[in-house]
Amino acid sequence: MPSLRTTAVAGVVVLGAAAAAVVVVDRTDLPLVGTTGCTAEVGGTTVDLDVEQAENASLIAAVSIRRGLPARAASIALATAYQESKLRNIDYGDRDSVGLFQQRPSQGWGTVAQLTDPVFATNAFYDALQKVEGYETMEITVAAQEVQRSAFPSAYADHEEDGRALASALTGNSPRAFSCEVPDDVEEAGDVLDDSGLVARAVAVRADIEERFGPQSLGGFEPGGVSSGHMAGSAHYEGRAIDIFYRPINADNRKRGWAMASYLVANAQRLAIRTVIFDGRIWQAGSDEGWRKYRVPSSSSGDRAILLHRDHVHVDVFD
C-alpha cells in the first residue's frame, strides 16, 4: 500500500467555571474515505487517514504524552506502525506477528491477546525504544529498526515524513494541524445524568481521556447538574459537556491543550463528540471546515481569554 502522503503545491469564564460553548458558526466533507476521514497537515506534508487509522495514531501519541516522552518518540512509533500495519490493529502478519507494530509473541513481545491490545502494544514499543541509547537524535528509520529488527530496515524511511507530521499535529506541537470530518447523524442516547451530573456519553468521554492521558483537571459539571456559570444555551446545563483545564495560559499548556483537542477530534466518531473548542478555535462534527475561529456571542461578558477557551478545552457530546 503506497504512502498516503501528498505534498502541498501552494503555501501551505469566570475563573471557577469555564465559559461554555454556544455554537454560533454555520454547520456545513473532505472526500477522504466515503464521508469520513482525518487529515494532519504540517508544513508541506499532508497525511490523510480514515477514522480507524486516526484513532490508532492518536492513541500512539497519547501514550507518548502520558509517559512524558519527546515528540520524537511519537514520530518513530507512528512511522513504524504506519509501515508495519498501516495504523491498523491487525490479527495477522508475517509468521506470528500481530497488532499495530506487528510484534511477535515468539520473540517475547507478549501474548497475541496482549499485542492486539493497542495500549499494551504501544507501551511495549516505547519500552523497547527507551532502551535504545540516543534514539532522540537518530534518524527515524534507524531508531525504528533498532526496536523492530525488521528484514526490511529501509522501509521505515518511506514513512518518516508521515510520522513526523502526525506526531507534530497529535502532540500539540503544530496547533490545529489535525482535523477530521465525521457525520453528525448520531442517534439519541438519552439525557439521564449520573451521580457526577453527566449524561452517559459525557461520562464515556471523561473516562476515555483519563484512561489515555491520566488524571486531568476537569470542570463544567457537578452532581445534580450545573445551573449557572455558563453562557445561555450551553451544553453544560444538559450534562453533555466537560472542560479540561490547562492553567496558567502559557506555551507548554497551549501545546498540551492542542494535544487533547486533537485526540478528541480523532476519536469524535467513536465517542459521539459534537463539538471541541480550544484557543479561540472550534471544531464540529458534520462540518468540512476543520478548525474555525470561535466567535464569542456578543451578549457574553467576562475574561476574554476564558471566553475564547484559551485556558481549557471544551468538549460536548450529542444528545
User: Could you read off the pLDDT of 264-285 as tens digits, one per residue?
Assistant: 999 999 999 999 999 999 999 9
Does residue 298 surpass a pLDDT of 80? no
What range does the domain containing 233 cover? Answer: 188-317
Q: What is the pLDDT of residues 53-81, one digit of tens each?
A: 999 999 999 999 999 999 999 999 999 99
Q: What is the pLDDT of residues 76-127, one digit of tens each?
A: 999 999 999 999 999 987 789 999 999 999 999 999 999 999 999 999 999 9
Residues 95 and 193 in one domain: no
Rounded distance between C-alpha atoms, residue 121 and residue 136, angstroms: 20
Residues 37 and 161 in one domain: yes
| pLDDT at 31 (0 to 100) | 33
Residues 48 and 153 in one domain: yes
Mean pLDDT in residue range 137-162 = 87
Residues 66 and 143 in one domain: yes
Mean confidence (pLDDT) of the chain: 88
Residues 150 and 219 in one domain: no
- CA-based nearest residue to 16, from 222, 273, 187: 222
The answer to whether position 87 is within a domain reads yes
The answer to whether position 10 is within a domain reads no
Residues 88 and 217 in one domain: no
Rounded distance between C-alpha atoms, residue 119 and residue 214, angstroms: 13
User: Among the three residues 179, 211, 233, which one is the final residue of a domain in this structure?
Assistant: 179
Residues 113 and 233 in one domain: no
| pLDDT at 155 (0 to 100) | 78
Mean pLDDT in residue range 204-208 = 98
Higher pLDDT pick, 131 / 150: 131
Alpha helix positions (H), the chain: 51-66, 71-85, 112-115, 118-129, 140-148, 160-170, 200-213, 251-266, 268-271, 304-307
Mean pLDDT in residue range 130-141 = 96
Does residue 2 surpass a pLDDT of 50? no
Does residue 287 surpass a pLDDT of 60? yes
Residues 249 and 168 in one domain: no
Does residue 244 surpass a pLDDT of 90? yes
User: Among the three residues 179, 212, 241, which one is the final residue of a domain in this structure?
Assistant: 179
CB 100 within 8 A of CB 106: no
| pLDDT at 16 (0 to 100) | 36
- Locate 9 and state its grid cell: 503545491
Neighbouring-strand partners of residue 243: 219, 314
Least confident segment among 1-5, 141-145, 184-188, 230-234: 1-5
User: Among the three residues 158, 179, 200, which one is the final residue of a domain in this structure?
Assistant: 179
The answer to whether position 5 is within a domain reads no
Rounded distance between C-alpha atoms, residue 236 and residue 233, angstroms: 8
Residues 201 and 173 in one domain: no
* Phi, psi angle pair for 58, to nearest 5°: -65, -35
Residues 117 and 48 in one domain: yes
Residues 127 and 158 in one domain: yes
Residues 39 and 164 in one domain: yes
Q: What's the total number of domains in the chain?
A: 2
| pLDDT at 26 (0 to 100) | 32
The answer to whether position 48 is within a domain reads yes
